[in-house]
Structure 1
């Protein structure tokens, strides 16, 4: 299947999308004239997928196993994966989120070789009892370092304040205790379940001939055998609408306190087309209220309640959603009170039309800029595609949103009963 998205300024983005015989979805986004190519091979498998039904068996695995498996995928009994890419002028890396694990490379030459290396190392796993045990120590150290990181601490405490049951409240890496329960057999079981081609997507963008690249991918995949995928259902616990607690406080030896303010989403999309619309609409609301061109931001900065690192974020899936604002906060209690008062007033008075229009134009501009960055377009296209949404429909969706839509979303989402606060405060020398 080939699609062409045509923007109003005359820019065209072509996407060639095919599903191979083994179930792998391939999306090619050629950008003529670009020197760099960015490729990402992603499985719809993240840290929240710790309970599932495979066939007729219900399975619960230790927290942190998706991230653990990501680490192990780079182990090769013959030659280090990083060296294989380096020999062909490419850099490689990976990441695990709540709902996906991705492996990617960036390079300007030897595209066929690098695509083959990417496909081959992700579609083969080398696990031994010895290398699994060794990895536990490495990841345990990573977790301990994260526990001492104030930014990570304040964020994870916020999610555990919002969520009482859903595994989004659990650190992606798991805990020192949970990873000790991971063994070779469990890793192999998760790999065979979630790394099947039918649960994966390969997205590539850059200056290449799409027909040629597609032929390379078909050749690589046809040489491999994959058993038919077993029936798979992900199991998530019931999550109450209300937040778990309204306030989390922790102390760390930091020079500046951190404060995050969040709102737990009550309206989770049921239809595919609703997800992108709600995400973009909420983003416009947050930008009009908390963006760096807003008067409120300038007032907080002037009064010393925030610094220039203050930001907002909105995350939405079919399973969970939340807004987060904040950052460094010399006086976190005062910041929380100011935000509370401001949101109440904004809800009462509505959103100024000129602010909404400005946010709409900014969002369209950000999208257009992303089309000139192959890494940005691949990451965004992948995330939306895994959530059954079309990233290239962004401008059409943004232009369809109205001021009335934004004000309704503000009243629906930023309600005080859904608000939670997480603080990491300065630990005194005597504490």
Structure 2
């Protein structure tokens, strides 16, 4: 049975249910839209590399990159490729792996029923052999080598590596050429059987759809399949890096025309659970907007001084088990880049007070971006974080934004800053 949540002012309705096998289904009809977008996600990503396989009692350390490797291999079946089936019904398909999730998706303007069946079937019917696994190693190896030569990617993971040297977060999502060479078909089945049970997955469909009809299609597909009972997943957490062990700075030389600098801040404070975590995420993100967006006094001053340019950007992320901020960009003055931005961060309470007059403007800009995203079926689906924020959707994020106060932002930033540790990763020509 579908539960219904209506966001009256937005004219939006979200329908949700959990099937008998544990699969969570979220349906968002969008009147007047021709395109429909569907994403099926498992709560399993690159950081989940040590766990107790389903049906076993001892933890196993699996090769780095196995979640991403599994994502690649699920499309290939014994006698066909899932991409070809989507193509026959006019859909474009893709997949991606993050630190904590793996998602499979398609977009279509027709044949929603058929494409949903293809999505559910190829994700839920694995086929791995030694021969197909070995063939894929060369393909993924080339992808890894491509990112090894990408300065931006190296800057990002260099910063992550400084903040999380003991935790698997610092490992490239695709692994290394050596680590993926160790992956076997049995490894893939062990990971699949542990994390791809419907009870660890969700399916969100957004666009031109009838909720009851769409749910009936999904339910009929699932009723044709047999899954074992749901079991708790035992992930083995790595020891947390003590704050005292975070290296303050590292410099590396690569083939770049200009220096690249990445400043990372690791939060050691405890992120609230459920939708309170979403509010914390929104508040800290607004604080960084006030301090560093392209209309802030800080940005304009540093831009005029040629310390930063249009490459400058910042981000605050909350992942399962981790949260951090990054400020990064190309600069001809890396020492000034670091000293100026560090000074702003150190003086954040006073800096926020100085920017208080801009709060309503920055908040309205964030609301505008979120409303703009609500007009994108892809954004609605991709911004659903599943269990991370208690099942909150982008519509809940907008509600949180609208109720956010300057005092909320001050408090959240103070909490994050008081328990954060900083690192600097610099790439020089």
TM-score range, shorter chain: over 0.9
- Residue number in structure 1 paired with 2:123: 122
Deviation at 1:424, TM superposition (A): 1.4
In structure 2, C-alpha distance between the alignment counterparts of 1:395 and 1:386, rounded to whole Å: 17
Deviation at 1:348, TM superposition (A): 3.1
- Residue number in structure 1 paired with 2:359: 356
Residue in structure 2 matching 1:308, options 303, 307, 310: 310
Deviation at 1:268, TM superposition (A): 2.6
Deviation at 1:5, TM superposition (A): 3.4
Question: In the TM superposition, what whole-angstrom CA distance separates every residue of 1:409-429 from its partner, at most 9, and x where no partner exists?
Answer: 333323697111111111xxx
1:32-71 matches, within 5 Å, as 32-54=31-53, 56-71=57-72
In structure 2, C-alpha distance between the alignment counterparts of 1:61 and 1:12, rounded to whole Å: 46
Deviation at 1:195, TM superposition (A): 0.8
In structure 2, C-alpha distance between the alignment counterparts of 1:248 and 1:169, rounded to whole Å: 15
Question: In the TM superposition, what whole-angstrom CA distance separates every residue of 1:183-239 from its partner, at most 9, and x where no partner exists?
Answer: 111111001111111111000000111111111111111111111133312111121
The runs of 5 or more residues in structure 1 that have no matched partner are 427-431
Deviation at 1:385, TM superposition (A): 4.3
Contact 2:265–2:421 (CA under 8 A) maintained in structure 1: yes
- Residue number in structure 2 paired with 1:155: 156
What number of residue pairs does the alignment pair up?
423
- Residue number in structure 1 paired with 2:136: 135
Contact 1:263–1:413 (CA under 8 A) maintained in structure 2: no
Deviation at 1:241, TM superposition (A): 4.6
SS at 2:426 equivalent: strand
Deviation at 1:146, TM superposition (A): 1.0
In structure 1, C-alpha distance between the alignment counterparts of 2:173 and 2:26, rounded to whole Å: 27
SS at 1:262 equivalent: strand
1:20-419 matches, within 5 Å, as 20-54=19-53, 56-242=57-243, 244-351=246-353, 352-381=355-384, 383-391=385-393, 392-414=395-417, 418-419=421-422
Contact 1:3–1:16 (CA under 8 A) maintained in structure 2: yes
Give the stretch that moved more between structures: 220-229 or 90-99: 220-229
Contact 2:265–2:422 (CA under 8 A) maintained in structure 1: yes
- Residue number in structure 2 paired with 1:429: none
Contact 1:265–1:413 (CA under 8 A) maintained in structure 2: yes
Contact 2:50–2:60 (CA under 8 A) maintained in structure 1: yes
Contact 1:340–1:416 (CA under 8 A) maintained in structure 2: no
SS at 1:234 equivalent: coil
SS at 2:383 equivalent: helix
| Alignment RMSD | 1.7
Deviation at 1:88, TM superposition (A): 1.0
In structure 1, C-alpha distance between the alignment counterparts of 2:81 and 2:145, rounded to whole Å: 27
SS at 1:321 equivalent: strand
Give the stretch that moved more between structures: 197-206 or 223-232: 223-232
Contact 1:275–1:389 (CA under 8 A) maintained in structure 2: no
Contact 1:164–1:240 (CA under 8 A) maintained in structure 2: yes
Contact 1:317–1:387 (CA under 8 A) maintained in structure 2: no
The runs of 5 or more residues in structure 2 that have no matched partner are none
Deviation at 1:57, TM superposition (A): 2.4
Contact 2:274–2:388 (CA under 8 A) maintained in structure 1: no
Contact 1:85–1:92 (CA under 8 A) maintained in structure 2: yes
1:56/1:270 Cα in 2 relative to 1: closer, same or farther (>3 Å)? farther
Deviation at 1:342, TM superposition (A): 2.2
Contact 1:127–1:184 (CA under 8 A) maintained in structure 2: yes
In structure 1, C-alpha distance between the alignment counterparts of 2:348 and 2:44, rounded to whole Å: 39
1:274/1:416 Cα in 2 relative to 1: closer, same or farther (>3 Å)? closer
Query: TM-score under structure 1 normalisation?
Result: 0.94
Give the stretch that moved more between structures: 338-347 or 20-29: 338-347
